[in-house]
């Protein structure tokens, strides 16, 4: 057995093959030398070879050559299987990470061995299965990362409630569903009473702790399918799907009472004065739009703030 056939026998694709087949493969080509950074495969050129890595290392890049490598192929591995088997161009760039030696097997020989040699067919199937598993894991990981980033984008950093961006995207959909189902969508617009004075007296950290305490009240007084959001500054907006006006008023009153009795604790653990809130209530009808519904709740909030605060208006 020659040195080249020994190298070929160490590759995953040609493992467990008889010496006679390895010698036949070795006679079809000679190893190719790649300089570091040299491109072996590219999506804009046809490919007719499966390349076995004999030494060095190759990296695989989607989109562009400058994109981060998604996989590194060490000696014994191979590249080009998918494009050879399905007759399409490569789906990624393959580049020599360091000076490397590769051995190219033409598609005609690959297809002949797959058809006539069970070991090659089994090896190729294992390679492709592993490649699919790796890509599936990567897709799942990427989706989780995307979901995590999306959560960060849609959630207010201080209160951990949904933010205005989420509200702007979701309210129109929720209102449309309510109108189609002939159900009301309740809106509670909540404002912390005299919040500027509270901030001036107890500092921004104290004000932040009051907002956090209020957000916890909102989380615990809504139903599982309701949505509490930080509307901006010291204002909050709560969406109540499938809700009548009496139900929305009752929810708002529970929030108003709970806010008045809740504890506000400073970052150092000391007790801070409590707060109160004013709440405006509105419920959609068939002609409502997100803008008109918020405006109706805002008008009721105005009455609550100018009618003594710490109250609910509807």
The single-letter DSSP state of residue 28 is: T
Number of residues that this document lists for the chain: 314
What tokens appear for 299 in the block? 């008008």
CA distance 190 to 252: 9
Q: Give the chain's radius of gyration (CA, Å).
A: 33
Q: How many whole angstroms separate alpha carbon 178 and alpha carbon 278?
A: 26
Q: What is the DSSP string of 280-313?
A: EEEE--TT--HHHHHHHHHHHHHHHHTTTSSSEE
CB atoms under 10 Å from CB of 97, counted, come to 16
247 in active site: no
Buried b (16+ CB within 10 A) or exposed e, 242-254: bbeeeebbebbbe
Tokens of 102: 């590769």
Q: Catalytic pick from 7, 72, 112, 234?
A: 234
Helices (H), 102-222: 107-116, 118-154, 164-180, 195-221
Q: How far apart are CA 235 and CA 181, in angstroms?
A: 29
Residue partners of 10: CB distance under 8 A and separation at least 6 = 75, 76
Q: What is the helix (H) or strand (E) element at residue 22, kind and residue range?
A: helix 19-26
Catalytic (active-site) positions: 234
């Amino acid at each position: 057995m020659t040195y080249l056939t020994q190298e070929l026998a160490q590759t995953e694709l040609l493992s467990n093959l008889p010496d006679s087949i390895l010698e036949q493969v070795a006679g079809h080509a000679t190893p190719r030398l790649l300089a570091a950074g040299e491109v072996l495969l590219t999506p804009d050129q046809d490919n007719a070879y499966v390349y076995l890595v004999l030494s060095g290392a190759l990296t695989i890049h989607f989109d562009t050559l400058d994109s981060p490598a998604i996989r590194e192929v060490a000696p014994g591995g191979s590249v080009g299987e998918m494009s050879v088997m399905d007759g399409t161009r490569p789906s990624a760039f393959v580049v020599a990470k360091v000076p490397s030696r590769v051995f190219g097997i033409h598609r005609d020989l690959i297809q002949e061995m797959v058809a006539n040699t069970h070991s090659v067919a089994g090896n190729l199937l294992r390679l492709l299965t592993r490649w699919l598993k790796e890509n599936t894991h990567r897709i799942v990981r990427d989706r989780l990362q995307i979901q995590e980033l999306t959560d960060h984008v849609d959630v207010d950093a201080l209160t951990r409630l949904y933010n205005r961006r989420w509200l702007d995207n979701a309210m129109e959909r929720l209102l449309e569903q309510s109108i189609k189902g002939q159900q009301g969508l309740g809106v509670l617009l909540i404002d912390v009473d005299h919040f500027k004075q509270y901030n001036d007296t107890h500092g921004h950290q104290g004000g932040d702790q009051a907002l956090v305490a209020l957000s916890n009240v909102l989380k615990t007084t809504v139903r599982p399918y309701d949505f509490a959001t930080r509307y901006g500054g010291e204002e909050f907006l709560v969406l109540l799907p499938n809700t009548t006006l009496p139900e929305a008023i009752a929810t708002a009153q529970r929030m108003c009472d709970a806010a008045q009795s809740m504890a506000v604790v400073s970052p150092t653990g000391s007790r801070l004065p409590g707060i109160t809130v004013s709440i405006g209530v509105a419920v959609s009808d068939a002609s409502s739009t997100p803008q008109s519904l918020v405006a109706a709740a805002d008008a009721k909030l105005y009455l609550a703030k100018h009618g003594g605060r710490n109250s609910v208006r509807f």
